[in-house]
Structure 1
Amino acid sequence: MIPYPQIDPVLIHAGPIKVRWYGLMYVIGFIAAYFVLRSQIRRKPIGLDQEGIYDFLSSAAFGVILGGRLGYVLFYNLSYYVSHPLEVFAVWEGGMSFHGGFIGVLIAGWLFTRKRGIPFMDLADLAVLPVPIALFMGRIGNFINGELFGRETDVPWCMEFPMGGPICRHPSELYEAGMEGVLLFLLLFFLSRRNLPKGVVFWSFIGGYGVFRTIGEFFRQPDIQIGFLFDGITMGQLLSVPMAILGIGMAIRAYRVPSEGPSGLPPTQI
């Protein structure tokens, strides 16, 4: 067993003001997203200047917060929020869903590209690269908070989480940080450096996240208010398996049916 590091979830105490590690991770994630996206657009210009990047990230942040919160309410704890409707707005108390946040970003991105006259997939292929960085930071924040811990196990690196009782558990937050963060970023970075047809990188992100999240759920303790849905399946897997199937299928389709480039030839032949 490895001792769980006792890290105060609150980084800075200043009277009534508290700066939490989890919130800081979101900030770092968005800062990293700005620099990565700016680098991407310099390599592959799509008609978006620095101000446009700020505007897009502002829209994406709004989509993450609104979609993530609504996704958590609908997918993970609807009965509670029906009885306590005002608690829906208490975002600072926790409760965000990646799947809901991703849908929120997709909607925000679609509206942004429509307003700017930019093809949605041009931006999507570039914008997904920094997402695993934000996911990595978020999982580290979960670990510091001692939340979303894993199932009971006897592996040598198991930990006893403060909110998990005197049970040695998988540090599943770190597993997910490695898969959804590090591995997914390396996959997308490799693909982004190749001259691939439009949509391959975007759909690879969706498929890759779906696969890694599905695997991670086998080690993660299900949400207490939901538990297992059926045959050991969790809500996270129910939402992620369709992502894996759709993403992989669409990535293969996009690769086999490339869009035309400026010369009328597929991008791989320009």
Structure 2
Amino acid sequence: MTGPIPFPDISPFVFPNGIFGYDIPLRWYAVSYIVGIAIGWQVIAAALRRDHLWRGGVAPMQPAKLEDLLTYIVIGVIAGGRLGYVLFYNPSRFIANPLEIPMIWTGGMSFHGGFLGVVLAVWLFSYRHKVPLGSLADVVAIAATPAILLVRIANFVNAELWGRPTDVPWAVAFPGQAAQACATATELCGRHPSQLYEAGLEGLLLGTILMVLAFRFKALKSPWLLSGVFFAGYGISRFIVEFFRQPDAQFQSPGNPLGLALEFGGGYGLTMGQILTIPMILVGVSVIIWASKRT
């Protein structure tokens, strides 16, 4: 039996050797956000240019307003993602060191927090610019998936958020803390490349479903329908991946190696990631049913 696949030698920096003698500390993680948002921008613009996709044959807003919408979303992602990480995953550390809260360059962003930040940003934009909230939420839901796909790939490049130990043929021997956590120091410790699982489910598959529903089946004519599909689809994808993803260190202990945040009889339980996705699934399914009945 062969060992796990060695982790590819990929630098987390786009220009690890600099350019023309200048050190440029640009990380793939930052690039993934920038490119993902740029692609999402084009997706929204493409939908707004096609009046026939919308209810009544008229797009809910002019493409000229996209720059303002982008500003709202960027602020929502950064502020929400950071505050979500602080509140959900490591509150005691930041209570003791509050000056570290705005230091996003040190790492630590929560998808659920970033998601809530975008929800608030979209609501504020809709309110201030008099754009129908349901239609705006639907098109933003489609545009979010390219960024999710690229950010999860960047997580893999950074060798972070790796999966649980496994002996499957595609197991990857991640470096750093993942290797230090192995049971034996003399063998490569294979782990699930859970970042790529998330990229495939949350980004590629969910994004394809939303794009087909919007541009092929004209689901944008039913406000809130695509938002419900995104809520439920992301929640289900994340719930599944949590079975393969290594839990956050703050939830692990010698008596709880699986990092269960809620445990039932027989050792079965749920991780914090799964607990946070259950409301998304329930809300998503409810919104799909409600939007379908309205239509």
Of 121, 128, 141, which residue of structure 2 is paired with 1:115? 128
Alignment match, 1:101: 114
Of 10, 13, 25, which residue of structure 2 is paired with 1:10? 13
Alignment match, 1:229: 261
- Rg larger in structure: 2
CA apart distance, 1:215:
0.4
CA distance, structure 1, for counterparts of residue 89 and residue 50 of structure 2: 40
TM-score normalised by L of structure 2: 0.84
Alignment match, 1:186: 208
Alignment match, 2:46: 39
TM-score normalised by L of structure 1: 0.92
CA apart distance, 1:133:
0.7
Matched, 1:22 2:35: no
Provide the identity percentage: 43
Matched, 1:57 2:70: yes
Residue 221 of structure 1 aligns to a residue in which SS?
Answer: coil
What are the residue-to-residue correspondences of 1:1-270 with 2, within 5 Å? 1-13=4-16, 14=18, 15=22, 17-44=24-51, 45-163=58-176, 164-165=178-179, 166-193=188-215, 194-196=217-219, 197-226=222-251, 227-231=259-263, 232-258=269-295
Asked if structure 1 preserves the Cα contact closer than 8 Å seen for 2:60 and 2:136, the reply is no
Residue 9 of structure 1 aligns to a residue in which SS?
Answer: coil
CA distance, structure 1, for counterparts of residue 236 and residue 101 of structure 2: 30
CA apart distance, 1:212:
0.4
Aligned Cα root-mean-square deviation (Å): 1.4
Alignment match, 1:261: none
Asked if structure 2 preserves the Cα contact closer than 8 Å seen for 1:46 and 1:123, the reply is no
> Which ranges of 4 or more aligned residues in structure 1 deviate by more than 6 Å?
none
Asked if structure 1 preserves the Cα contact closer than 8 Å seen for 2:47 and 2:139, the reply is yes
CA distance, structure 2, for counterparts of residue 178 and residue 56 of structure 1: 27
Asked if structure 2 preserves the Cα contact closer than 8 Å seen for 1:211 and 1:244, the reply is yes
CA distance, structure 1, for counterparts of residue 224 and residue 63 of structure 2: 23
Residue 64 of structure 2 aligns to a residue in which SS?
Answer: helix
Specify every segment of 5 or more residues in structure 2 that has no aligned partner in the other structure, as ranges: 52-57, 180-187, 252-258, 264-268
Asked if structure 2 preserves the Cα contact closer than 8 Å seen for 1:67 and 1:101, the reply is yes
Residue 230 of structure 1 aligns to a residue in which SS?
Answer: strand
